[in-house]
Amino acid sequence: KEEASTTAAALSASQSTVEELRGRMVELQAQNHSLQAKVDSMFTQTDMAKERRATAAAQEERDALLSRIEGMVPRERLAAVQADAESERKAGVRVRERAQELE
């Protein structure tokens, strides 16, 4: 009977340990998920920063090219070309609008 009592006590202690370990495992899994979310967020922020740097570099390159073009073409000529392009764009819009009216 004493042996059965000792075995029951050991079994009860083992079950208690198993339950504690399960609880700890659940806590660790939650921490793992939280850390994974933080890592994912950091990767996203890193990707966004890379995109911002690439966009800024492209903008700088574009600005440099525009400066070079402005340096090669007199401002008056450049303004005239831009005005012609805008005029042609507006004319194209009017033609499309008129074509839609006729349809």
> Who's near 78: CB < 8 A, 6+ residues apart?
69, 70
Distance CA 92, CA 78 (A): 21
DSSP 24-44: HHHHHHHHHHHHHHHHHHHHH
Helix (H) or strand (E) holding 55: helix 2-72
Global pTM value:
0.44
pLDDT exceeding 90 applies to what percent of the chain?
A: 37
What is the percent of the chain with per-residue pLDDT over 70, rounded to a whole number?
A: 100
Question: What integer pLDDT is reported at residue 14 of this predicted model?
Answer: 87
Q: What is the pLDDT of residues 17-45, one digit of tens each?
A: 888 999 999 999 999 999 999 999 999 99
